[in-house]
Structure 1
C-alpha cells in the first residue's frame, strides 16, 4: 500500500513550487531523515549543510579530501557510511574550492553508495547541490550526477550562473528511478 500511495501522491504533486531553493533543501532532507541519522559531506563544504542535518536532529559526518587534488577520499567515504547514513551531499563545482569532481570519482561514489545500500538494506540518497554547475572553465564540463547513481536528488539555482544574488530561482530534479 505504501508504494501505491506514494505513486498516486507523486502523480498528483509531481511539480512542487517553493519560494526559495533553501526551503526545498529542508523539505528534501526532512523526508529522508530521522533523529540520529547521518548526512555525509565532503570537506570543505558549504557551512549551511551542517544546519540542514541539525534541524532534524541528524548529524554531519565529514569525509576529508585528498589534499593534492581536493577530490574526495573514497576510502574514507566507504569507511564512514553506516546503517544510519541516509544522504551524501555533493556540491560540484565545490563551494568553496571550485574543484570539479571527476567523472571517475562520481562513478566510484555511485558504486560505493550502491554497495552500502545493499549491505545495510537501506536507501542512501545522493543530494546534488548544483548552484555552480554552469560556472566551469577551460573546457571542463559538469555532468548531471543522476547518470552515476539512481537515488540522486538534484537542486539547482539560477542565482549564481545568472548573477541574481538573492533571487533564489531554481529547480529540483527527482528522477523516476529514485527510491
Structure 2
C-alpha cells in the first residue's frame, strides 16, 4: 500500500506527537486524563470547568432545540449571534463592527486558528511567530499548513518575552504573528510594551496579527486590552475568541473571529471547507450569554482569581514555587524545590504519589527548548472549591 502519512505526519511531528519509531502517540492531555481515571486522581490537568454555565444560557439552548433550530445555520453564523458579538466588542472595547462583513462564527476558537493559519500561509518559506510555551494546536496547525514555526520564549518568572528576541524572530518571511493574550499555559498577560512592539513589527514586515483571546474575561487586574484596539493594528489583525471559557460551555464549540472584511473573507474561504457551520441551537444561546449584565463578567473574573489564589496556596504549602497568574484558568508552579528536574516524568508519577494530575509545561514547547522549562507544571484552577481543597490536601503528601 502506498504511503499516506504526509499530512498527518507533518501535523503530528509539528505537535511533538511522534515516538522514536515515527509512530503517532497520544497527546499529554489524553495520557494524563487516562491516568486520572485509572488512579482516581483529582484532574487539575485539562482546562475544563466542572460546573455548568449560567442557567439562562442553558435554557436558551434548550428552547432553540425545542423551537426547531436543528439544521445548518448560515456559513457565517446566525445573524443574531454575529450581532451580539458586535455589541460585545463595542460594549467592552469600543470597537465598531459590521455583523454582515466583519464577523464569522466558528466551531470553537481552535477551528478559527486553524482556518486563519491555513488561509494566511501557503508558501514553503512562510513563517508563523508564536510565543513559547504555546497552546498545543498552534504547532500542529502551522505544520499542517506547511509553514515554519518560529518560537519566541517567555521567560520565568513573569513570562514576558525579550523584545530583542521578538525583533529577531519577526522578518519579511513572517506571515502571521500569533498572540495568545491572556496566555495559556502560563496565565500571564502581555505588557503594553509587548503589544505595541507586536503591532510595530507586523506593520514593518507586512505580517498579519492573529490573536487568541479566549480568556478575555478572565483577567484578574484591570480590563483586557485587545491588540486590535491599538493604533495601526485594526487593518492587519484577526481577533479570535469563544464562549467556552467565559460561559463554562467548552463542549459547545462556539467561537468567532473578527477583523477587517478582506481578512475575514480570506479566512472564510478556508473555514467553509472545514466545518462549514455548526452548533445551530447553541448560537442563539451564546447571543444570550454575550448580553449578560456586566456583573456576570466581573463576577467570573473575581471567582477565578479567588480559585487561583486558593490553588496557589495549596501548591506553596506542598513545596512548589508558585508563579502567580494574571488571568486564565491556569497556575504554573516550579517543582524544582521538590528536587524535580523532569516535569514530564514527575507528572506521570504524581497521580500515584499524591492523587493529583498536572501537565508538564514542556508539553507546550518545541523539543529543542524543553530544558528551560524542565521543572514547571501547569495546574488548572477551573474546578469547584471543594475539588481544589481536596487536591491541595493530597499534594501535602509530597512534603
Q: TM-score range by the shorter chain?
A: 0.7 to 0.9
User: Is the counterpart of residue 142 in structure 1 residue 231 in structure 2?
Assistant: no
The within-5 A match list for 1:143-158 is 143-148=225-230, 149-150=233-234, 151-158=236-243
Task: State whether residues 105 and 254 of structure 2, in contact with CA within 8 Å, keep that contact through their aligned partners in structure 1.
Answer: no
Partner of 2:138: 49
Identify if the C-alpha distance between structure 1 residues 19 and 93 changes in structure 2 by more than 3 Å, giving closer, same or farther: closer
Determine the C-alpha separation between the residues in 1 that align with 2:127 and 2:211: 16
Identify if the C-alpha distance between structure 1 residues 140 and 17 changes in structure 2 by more than 3 Å, giving closer, same or farther: closer
Identify if the C-alpha distance between structure 1 residues 16 and 112 changes in structure 2 by more than 3 Å, giving closer, same or farther: closer
Identify if the C-alpha distance between structure 1 residues 158 and 17 changes in structure 2 by more than 3 Å, giving closer, same or farther: closer
The higher-RCO structure (CA 8 Å, 6+ apart) is 2
The within-5 A match list for 1:23-42 is 23-36=111-124, 37-42=126-131
Task: State whether residues 61 and 80 of structure 1, in contact with CA within 8 Å, keep that contact through their aligned partners in structure 2.
Answer: yes
Determine the C-alpha separation between the residues in 1 that align with 2:169 and 2:109: 28
Once the 2 structures are TM-superposed, how far is the Cα of residue 42 of structure 1 from its aligned partner? Answer: 0.5
Partner of 1:6: none
Task: Give the structure with higher Rg (CA).
Answer: 2
Q: 2:207 aligns with which of 104, 120, 124?
A: 124
State the TM-score, normalizing by the size of structure 1: 0.80
Task: State whether residues 109 and 212 of structure 2, in contact with CA within 8 Å, keep that contact through their aligned partners in structure 1.
Answer: no
Q: Which has the higher helix share?
A: 2
Task: State whether residues 93 and 100 of structure 1, in contact with CA within 8 Å, keep that contact through their aligned partners in structure 2.
Answer: yes
Task: State whether residues 106 and 254 of structure 2, in contact with CA within 8 Å, keep that contact through their aligned partners in structure 1.
Answer: no
| Aligned length, in residue pairs | 161
Question: Which sits farther off after the overlay, 66-75 or 56-65?
Answer: 66-75
SS across alignment from 2:186: coil
Identify if the C-alpha distance between structure 1 residues 171 and 109 changes in structure 2 by more than 3 Å, giving closer, same or farther: same
- Which blocks of at least 5 consecutive residues in structure 2 are unaligned? 1-97, 265-399
SS across alignment from 2:154: coil
Task: State whether residues 74 and 109 of structure 1, in contact with CA within 8 Å, keep that contact through their aligned partners in structure 2.
Answer: no
Determine the C-alpha separation between the residues in 1 that align with 2:199 and 2:171: 16
Partner of 1:87: 176
Q: 2:151 aligns with which of 62, 76, 82?
A: 62
State the TM-score, normalizing by the size of structure 2: 0.38
Partner of 1:3: none
- Which blocks of at least 5 consecutive residues in structure 1 are unaligned? 1-10, 118-122
Once the 2 structures are TM-superposed, how far is the Cα of residue 155 of structure 1 from its aligned partner? Answer: 0.6
